[in-house]
Chains A and B, each alone.
Chain A
Amino acid sequence: MPYYEPRLSLELENFSSMEKYFKLCEILGMKNLIVELNKSPKNLEPDLIDKIRMLTKLNLNFRFNLKPVNMNQFKKDLKIYNNFPFILSIETPVKDIQIQAAKDSRIDVLSYSNPDIMKTISPGVISLIKQSGSFIEFSVAPIMVNNRTYQSKNFRLLYRFIQLIMKIKPNYIISGNFGNPYDLRHPRNLSSICHTLLGMPLRKAKEGFSKNVELLLNQVKIRSEKNHFQSGVRLIRGE
């Protein structure tokens, strides 16, 4: 079962730092990574993706994370992502945007990696995500903090979040999303934490790092095909 680290934020300007991260990932035994682009795709150099791929033997995929603060900005930002070839995710505490994003087929992932954003989740949004076939993402990074007060708060928050997801059963992925290289861990070990400390069945936890991520990547690949319109609708022959 190939494991993925679905979110690794890197500074795209700093190649030496990126190389260090990739080396560390290789030492830890990771094989598949999804790198978060911190630059808007408009400002990306055309050959940047190839340059990053040259740095390592790891299988790299890419994603971009939108962080809109109001509905107008969200609608404006989304216009340029009609044929986006990578994973597009959204991370916002505004409920109206979450609802709109859950319905929008251009958004692949609704991310709840931050504890403040995790608090804003509602069963209605999860249900919408399930209906639209997009993915919900949460991260184990909040429980790896050193401050015990925050750590126990985040444990409770994440536990309740996971119980809600297990009940409604939308598509989900789990990410590490660690900012510091010394916080990086192999996804197999993180699935173990989800099982023992957060009450997820081990099989479900492993799926969050492997099978479900593959499904997401496959979905993005199909979406970027020219003849594909929406889930289940594809132009077979046209003039």
Chain B
Amino acid sequence: MKDERQRYILFKILIDENEFLNKKILLNSIWHSIWKYFGMKEANKIGLWLVEFNISEGYGIIRCSHKTKEIVISALTMISEIFEKRVILSPIKTAGTINKIRQFVI
């Protein structure tokens, strides 16, 4: 079976109180957004993986299949609240390799 191509998405996390946010909560809210707006049909194609999560620096890196890149960007953009706290998850850069995306980490 041919490996599917992947995309790495670097996103910024802007939040007032960041104590409650961890990897598990973030991943759950991303999946929730994908399910809410795109359903099972698209969710099974994504292959979502949270590669890096750095709340102190305010960024994260997500891996997904290259065909569902736009879906993941939309899902991240549509998230406006986590546990009733306002949050912005703003995708800023997409790349095909992890080394390339790390160059854009500030």
Contacts and interface: CB of A to CB of B under 8 A. Distances in A.
A28 B80 contact: no
Contacts, number: 53
A197 interface: yes
A interface: dominant SS: helix
Contacts of B35: none
B14 interface: yes
A184 interface: yes
A27 B91 contact: no
Given A28-B88, A182-B87, A186-B92, A146 B77 contact: no
B40 to A, nearest CB: 16
Given A27-B12, A192-B70, A197-B37, A182 B88 contact: yes
Given A27-B14, A28-B12, A202-B70, A193 B77 contact: yes
B81 to A, nearest CB: 7
Contacts of A195: 70, 74
Q: How large is the interface on A (under 10, 10 to 19, 20 to 34, 35 or more residues)?
A: 20 to 34
A196 B70 contact: yes
Interface string A176-216: 00001011111011101101110000100000000000000
8 contacts: A24-B14, A28-B88, A146-B80, A185-B77, A185-B90, A189-B91, A193-B78, A195-B74
Interface of A: 24, 27-29, 144, 146, 180, 182-186, 188-190, 192-193, 195-197, 202
